[in-house]
Structure formats: C-alpha cells, structure tokens
Amino acid sequence: MSVEIVNTLNGPVTAVFVFFGIAFNIETIYVLMRPVKHHLRNVNRHGFLIQTGLLLSRAVSIKPPSSLSRPIIHTYLLWLSVSDTALLLSGFLMYCLPSFFISSLGFYAKFFPAFYLISNASLTASVWLMCVLMFERYRAFCKPLITSGMSAAKVHKILAFVVVLSIIFSLPRFFEVVVLEYDDGFVDVVQSDLGKNHIYLFYYRIIGGLVFYSLLPYIVLFALSAKISLVLRTAAKQRQIMSSSMNHKTKAISDSELILLAVMAKFLLSRLMPTALDVAEHIVTSEIFVLSSVATLIVAISNLLVVISSGINFFIYFMFSKTFRHSACLCCKNLPFFSCKTARNFNDGEATNTSVPQFNKPDNFLTSLLLFNEASDISKKN
C-alpha cells in the first residue's frame, strides 16, 4: 500500500503540479520582465511633491517618465522564478517520469546522472539565491544608510555567479551514480565507488550538505527573516504614526515588503521537512533510511511540498502586489475567456487618483534623496 501511495505521489500527482507550476512560472517571468509603467498625470498640475515632510519647490521640473526601471527586488524574484522552474523540471525528470516506467528505465537511465546533477544544482541554487536575496533585503531594511544602490546589471552578474558556483559545488554528484547495462538488456542505475566512499560521504555529503544547502542556510534564513520581520513591523508602526499626524492614510506595509514576507514564509515552510529529513538520514545512516517504508513515504510527501512551493510564486505576487496584478491582467486581457476587474479599476481610477509617486520602497530611497538635493541646489542658485 505504501509503495502505491509513493508511486501515485511521485507520478501523476507531481506531474499535475509540475505542469501548472511551470506554466505559471513562465507567466511570472514574463510579467517581471515587462517594464513598469507609472501614470503621474497630476504631478505637473500640482507642481510640487511632498514626501515625509519634504517640500520641493515649484521650480523643480519633474518630468514623469512613461516607464521606469523595475525595482531591484524584481531582479531577485526573476532569478528565483527561473530557479524554481529548473527545480520543477529536474524533479519531473528525476522521480516523476521514472515512476511511469513499469520495469526498467531503459534508454532513459543513461541520462540519469545528468538529471541527478541538474536536480542537486537547482536545489542548491534556489537555497543560495534565497540567501542572497535575504541578505540584500536585510541590508536595505536594517542598514539603509550604508547600503549603496546596485544596478540591475550588477545584480544579474552576482546572481549568475551564484548559480555558477552552485553548479560547480554540485559537480561531484554527477559521479556518484553509474549506469549498468546487462547482457539481457536490463539497464540499472547504481552507486559508484565515489558514492560509497566513507570519506567523501562524511565530508561532502554530510558536513558539506548541512553547512552549504541544508541546516545552516535554513538557520541563517530563519534568523534573517525574524530580524527583517521585526524591522518591517517597527517601520509600519512609524508610518502609521506619521500618516495620522499628516491626516492621510497610508499602507502599513508596502507591496514589495508583503511579497518578501510571503516568499520567506513559503520557502521556510517548504524546506522545513526536507531539512529535517536530511538531518535524520545522517543520524540513522543512509542504509537504514533508504530501507524504511515510512521514510520513503515522508520523502515523497516532502518532494511534493517542494514542487508545490516552486509553482505558486505567481499567486503570491498576484495576491500581494498591485503592480504585478495590473501587469498580469494586461498580459491576459486580450484573451477571449479572460476578464480582469483589477485592470479596469487601475485604468479607470487608481492611476488618475495618484497625484504623486510613492517612494515607500527602499529601492526608491535614493530617488527621493536626489530630488531633495536638486531642490536644494535650485534654492541656493536663486
């Protein structure tokens, strides 16, 4: 009974979530790559900008651009979506598709070492990319004065370097398994001598795994998440106090902050069980762990949770980000079966009622500072 449940979870159930997860991730990537457009119709009419008590003179000429560069956090979310898509594909190739084979993997087994490498590299890359995102957000929220602005090109280079490092770190995995073909045509995948080496298993698999992509990164991410959550809560209270003193309403937490909190929670919850299983496997040894039917079932459930987590980014961004909802609706509004009330509301009222741009994100801190400096220079000249 346990074997049938495992095959069902690894086979058709995982295949459904992989298919829809990849489709929504592709839509997410497309939306995140679109230019962010801002409608600032009333800026010229009012001629001034008030941002947290700063009054810019009418002499400052503000020309609202038709499209602005995307926030830096969009670059991180873009790479995370690509990483999650690769993780979905590798999961499908590693344990979903093989569950449909009746007896032998056949010719498919020859690709198994490469799929094994891709799967581990994708998992490692997703963890490291999340660590980089959390560290950058920690600096932006907790140490904004010493954090220098980074361009999107520089962020792309850093994240690409992280992905390359994850592939290099995972290269030994390719040599852990070998493909054996017998005289009767039966093809099997077994552990190589490297995969059985006790020194390799202890230092690379156990110590390296716990330190670089399992227990230690999870603890670090949890600590950073707790710190950032406290900072955001304090900042939200301060914004509410300032808005009440200025007699206007403001959001307690901005869209980008909500997305960050949701992505953090999703990642930590989805990786809790794999991390616990990884630690348990090292404690009871791999030989005992693999032979346990209960452990096999829990591993299948854990893999399914990771697959589901990798495919729900679209819904998180759609739920918490007004800009993402608007862009997603614009992408789909031409479809005959699609009707999006959000897009109509944005076009009819939201853009028009926004008299000034909102610099409530850390990425826009430098923009506000530049505008303030420009106003000061003009005042000195006059």
Q: Which of 222, 228, 227 is nearest to 253 (CA)?
A: 228
If you ran DSSP here, which 8-state letter would residue 254 be given? -
pLDDT digits (tens, 9 = 90+) for 262-315: 888 888 888 888 888 878 877 887 778 877 888 888 888 988 999 999 999 899
Q: Is 362 contained in some domain?
A: no
pLDDT of residue 58: 38
Mean pLDDT of 251-269: 75
The answer to whether position 49 is within a domain reads no
| Residue 166 · residue 128 · CB < 8 Å | yes
- In 88-220 the beta strands, taken as DSSP E runs, fall at 177-181, 187-191
What share of the chain in percent tops pLDDT 90? 19
Q: Is residue 234 part of a domain?
A: yes
The pLDDT of residue 273 is 84
Under the banding of pLDDT at 50, 70 and 90, the label for residue 102 is low
299 within some domain: yes
Pair of tokens at residue 216? 């230690």
pLDDT 10s digits, 150-186:
788 889 999 999 999 999 999 999 999 898 888 777 8
Do the domain assignments include residue 43? no
In-domain check, residue 27: yes
Nearest to 228 by CA among 307, 308, 169, 140: 140
Residue among 270, 265, 235 nearest 253 (CA): 235
Q: Which pLDDT tens digit goes with each residue over 191-242?
A: 888 888 889 888 898 888 888 888 888 888 888 888 888 887 887 777 777 7
Q: How far apart are CA 240 and CA 248, in angstroms?
A: 9
**CATH number of the domain that residue 159 is part of:** 1.20.1070.10
Domain range holding 120? 2-35+70-332
User: Is there a domain that residue 364 lies in?
Assistant: no
- Is residue 52 a part of any domain in this protein? no
Q: How confident is the model at residue 39 (pLDDT cuts 50, 70, 90)?
A: very low
CA distance 247 to 255: 22
C-beta neighbour count of 234 within 10 angstroms: 11
Average pLDDT over residues 252-267: 76
Counting the structural domains of the chain, the total is 1
